[in-house]
Chains A and B, each alone.
Chain A
C-alpha cells in the first residue's frame, strides 16, 4: 500500500498543475467599467463593478465571469431619482446591495460570444444569456432586462419604464 502513496501524489500533482496550465487567462476589471441602462425615463448607469474574469478565446470551457455591481453607484443624472432608485420601493439597496452575474457556460457565436449564467438582482435569480464581444481588452455586451421579472416595484408596473436595454462595457487589464 505504501508503494502506492508516491505514484498517487505524483498523479495529484500532475492533475493539479495541469489545472494551472489550462486555466483561462485572468483579467482585472478596470475602474472605468460601467453598466448603462436605457428605458427612456429613467436611464442611467451603474459603476463599481468588481469580480473575477477568466477568459481565453481559445479555452472557452475554462472561461468564467463572476462579477458584481454596487447598486449604490446608480447614476441617473438626477439626485432625486438616484435616491428613489436606491429606496425600498425600487432596488432596496440596503437589503440588496449588489447585482451579481455568474456565468455557467461561454460559447462562440458568429458575432462574438455568448455568456449563459445567473443574473441576481433584488433577491431574484434568473438565467440570462449575454451576447458579448472582446476587442482591445474590452468586453462589450448587451441584453434586455425587465424590472418586473426581478420584483422591482411590481406595485407600479407603469411607473417609468419596465423594460431596459442594458449595455455593459468592461475594460480589463492583465
Chain B
C-alpha cells in the first residue's frame, strides 16, 4: 500500500509544482512584480514535493493507525493544515531588497493550497485497498 501512496504523493507534488509555476508566471505578468529571489523555481518545486512527501508519510501512518476512519480524518487534517498555512506567507518578512511585499501574499497564499488540490485531484487514480 505504501508504494501506491508514495506514487500518489509524488504525482501530486509534481502536479502541484506545475500549477504553482504556471500561477507564478501569470502573477508576474499581471503585477510585474518579481519575487523570484524568495520564491523561485527551485523553491516552488521543493515546497510542492516536500509537502506532498510529508503528506505521504502522514497519510500512510493515519490509515495504518485508524484503518477505515483514517482517510476521513486525514482529509480533514490536510484541509485544516492547508488553510492554517495561509498565515505563513502573510506573516513572513521578506528581504528589504524585495519591492512591494504587499503583493507577496497574493502570489504565495494560493500556492499553499496547491498540494492539497493536487492530492485530492489524483485521489481517484490511487485507490486504497
Q: Do the beta carbons of A79 and B96 come within 8 Å of each other? A: no
A-B interface pairs (CB < 8 A), number: 31
Q: Do the beta carbons of B93 and A80 come within 8 Å of each other? A: no
Interface residues contributed by chain B, number (CB under 8 Å): 15
The interface residues of chain A lying within 8 Å CB-to-CB of B96 are 36, 44-45, 75, 77
Given contact pairs A44-B96, A45-B96, A75-B96, A80 touches B91 in the complex (Cβ within 8 A): yes
- Please report the C-alpha to C-alpha distance between residue A76 and residue B92 in the assembled complex, in whole angstroms: 11
Q: Do the beta carbons of B94 and A77 come within 8 Å of each other? A: yes
Q: Do the beta carbons of B103 and A78 come within 8 Å of each other? A: no
The interface residues of chain B lying within 8 Å CB-to-CB of A80 are 90-91
Q: Do the beta carbons of A76 and B93 come within 8 Å of each other? A: yes
The interface residues of chain A lying within 8 Å CB-to-CB of B94 are 77-78
Residue picked from B90, B101, B104, most chain A C-beta under 10 Å: B101
- Please report the C-alpha to C-alpha distance between residue A164 and residue B12 in the assembled complex, in whole angstroms: 47
Q: A45-B96, A78-B91, A79-B104 are in contact. List 4 more A-B contacts (CB 8 A).
A: A75-B99, A77-B101, A80-B91, A82-B101
Closest 8 CB pairs of A and B: A79-B102, A77-B93, A77-B94, A79-B101, A78-B93, A45-B96, A77-B96, A75-B96
Q: Which residues of B contact A (CB under 8 A)?
A: 90-96, 98-105
Q: Which residues of A contact B (CB under 8 A)?
A: 36, 44-45, 75-83
